[in-house]
Structure 1
């Protein structure tokens, strides 16, 4: 696979954490879908039609999530000829009546095909290759499966809108979030982290080969650190996260794999031991985690102190512009804004001093913040098949 290209950004003067540098070359967005058509001639009828399509697609997503979580897509992908709902039930151990209703959504949603009497059903091979576990559409089905999880906190987020409501919704209310994030991230890590992402940074790969200390900030269930620890046995990895569930899952995996060069710690990023870790790490990895922090500027200041003089830091964040109007043509922008509203922004605001950056904080504001906290020689790239923009920084 082709390595992601890295192009230097303009390191202009920055006068404040919320101001944008005068000119920053913008990495192209990932090619994940078509741009919306022009809406300049839209009338109420056309808008109503578009809203109807949106609502219908939203409900269809719930059934797609059900197909992933029940294993029905995997089961259908293994069939080479049409099957009845009863045969599908027998093969999966699931209830036929529920399968039949689910198939109704899948057929009318043009995902599963049926005969004229709706008695036999088939998932076409090209759709099966996209929808099955580990398929080409893994990230899409994972996003669909995130919808029910977000719905579980709908009323809590709704209450936060009120002037006298709570500031945010704490992490503890997001059941299953760590499992979702680990699956979503691992889908990309397993394909690209070792094969082409690390090789796109020759200086980092060379340091990892020789042996350095690495910090994984907001490690979740540890997928990235475990892959790196296996690949680079001479390096030592410390991975931290605020979630008990995530850290416990990571520790269990390390025990199973008998890895001795990676340690997982439950720790708030604001509690990193500044004196003990000063200048310790040759590489810092912050993957989709900075925007969730209560105080990103304070965290980045700490990371700057923890990084060795010749060290490098990877910050991965959604490849968005910092201005809403500039994201109109960004594929899946509405998905990311909604995810930010329902999780990223509100979990940050749930802390008393949380700033609520959200995952659409954007390239320009993130660049300004990195420069403000002392990082330089900042290079940016769009990793292979990723929604993210990669900021590679030095001290």
Structure 2
């Protein structure tokens, strides 16, 4: 038996990194709480304040607020004056932690850590038994995903995403048929329906909860050119109907993404365009070593995207299926004209512009 020699410097560096990882995980959970309770938003509007003052302004329990504040202080997200006993959220931090920061707000994404933690036991069971964890086990998934979409897709729709396809905005103004597959709560489609009253929009999603929310939004806005329905994308049977089909971060967690892409191909009109937004990645892990959030995305894949596909007997592509696999599957579905574009402000996603003919 060979005894492996340990490099003490390398071992110590790794131990220090593990401590950093533990602290970062703790900060992530505390940041999620700060976002959900709007504590960051409250503090951004206050001068340096005591814990009771901050709790009172936020309408929250002071003891919990104080413990949260102290965690934020040790994480260096909040500054503390030990003489005045006051806490302050620096403007430079508020620029990435508050709702006023709009698409620059990183705090909403920290919710994924707590959300995925709720299914850890079930995912561990899958490590031993195989199978997967179904959508129904993720109690806040569509709520968090809607906020995610509100950070990445919805604000960029008109200025950045639609212009990726020449002439699309003008076509929408004239009036075309549009489908969004895997629409979730329908935030993007509702925005499009409001902006382009001459076009007709259809949204499909597997989740009845998400579709109910989307239909409620339609009723509140009194829109007549958009409809939402519960539908499994793998069972879609429509032919030559749509001028434009979109999927936003929706293909890789399908049970049968191959069948879904074929259905999209058939549902498009001969001169139709398919816009697929999906995760920017390489299919082989070696191409993702420098990805700025590669570890986060593999975690989300293991804890959600891959396992929900496997739960329905699916392929389990996973979040990081990558460009190479995506291009292969698009080709297998019948698409031969594919262009991949990226947006300067969006390092996380690729935008596939796909023509049927």
TM-score range, shorter chain: over 0.9
What is the match of residue 155 of structure 1? 121
What is the match of residue 298 of structure 2? 337
Q: Equivalent residue of 1:366, what SS?
A: helix
Question: Which among 96, 99, 103 is matched to residue 130 of structure 1?
Answer: 96
CA shift at 1:189, angstroms? Answer: 2.9
42 and 299 in structure 1: CA distance in 2 versus 1, 3 angstrom threshold: farther
Question: Which among 81, 86, 93 is matched to residue 52 of structure 2?
Answer: 86
Question: Which among 348, 352, 357 is matched to residue 391 of structure 1?
Answer: 352
Q: Structure 1 stretches (4+) deviating beyond 4 angstroms? A: 136-139
Q: Does the CA contact (< 8 Å) of 1:219 and 1:241 recur in 2?
A: yes
**Alpha-carbon separation, structure 1, partners of 2:263 and 2:147:** 29
Offset from partner CA, 1:370-393 (integer Å, 9 cap, x none): 011111221111124221001110
**Alpha-carbon separation, structure 2, partners of 1:283 and 1:357:** 25
The answer to whether structure 1 residue 73 and structure 2 residue 60 are counterparts is no
Gaps of 5+ in 1: 1-39
**Alpha-carbon separation, structure 2, partners of 1:42 and 1:337:** 29
Question: Which among 296, 309, 316 is matched to residue 356 of structure 1?
Answer: 316
The answer to whether structure 1 residue 179 and structure 2 residue 146 are counterparts is no
**Alpha-carbon separation, structure 1, partners of 2:162 and 2:9:** 46
Question: Which among 175, 194, 204 is matched to residue 230 of structure 1?
Answer: 194
Number of residues of Structure 1 aligned to a counterpart in Structure 2: 349
Q: Does the CA contact (< 8 Å) of 2:96 and 2:107 recur in 1?
A: no
**Alpha-carbon separation, structure 2, partners of 1:208 and 1:115:** 55
What is the match of residue 18 of structure 2? 51
What is the match of residue 206 of structure 2? 242
CA shift at 1:133, angstroms? Answer: 1.1
Gaps of 5+ in 2: 1-6
**Alpha-carbon separation, structure 1, partners of 2:59 and 2:305:** 37
Question: TM-score, with normalisation over the residues of structure 1?
Answer: 0.86
251 and 384 in structure 1: CA distance in 2 versus 1, 3 angstrom threshold: farther
Q: CA RMSD in A?
A: 1.6
137 and 240 in structure 1: CA distance in 2 versus 1, 3 angstrom threshold: closer
Offset from partner CA, 1:241-273 (integer Å, 9 cap, x none): 01111101100111111111000000101121x
**Alpha-carbon separation, structure 1, partners of 2:95 and 2:8:** 38
CA shift at 1:61, angstroms? Answer: 0.7
**Alpha-carbon separation, structure 1, partners of 2:156 and 2:8:** 43
The answer to whether structure 1 residue 169 and structure 2 residue 133 are counterparts is yes
Q: Does the CA contact (< 8 Å) of 2:103 and 2:151 recur in 1?
A: no
373 and 132 in structure 1: CA distance in 2 versus 1, 3 angstrom threshold: same
Question: TM-score, with normalisation over the residues of structure 2?
Answer: 0.95
Offset from partner CA, 1:104-146 (integer Å, 9 cap, x none): 1100000100112471111111111221114167552111112
Q: Equivalent residue of 2:96, what SS?
A: helix
126-135 or 143-152, larger mean C-alpha shift:
126-135
Q: Equivalent residue of 1:149, what SS?
A: helix
Q: Does the CA contact (< 8 Å) of 1:204 and 1:312 recur in 2?
A: no
Question: Which among 311, 314, 321 is matched to residue 275 of structure 2?
Answer: 314
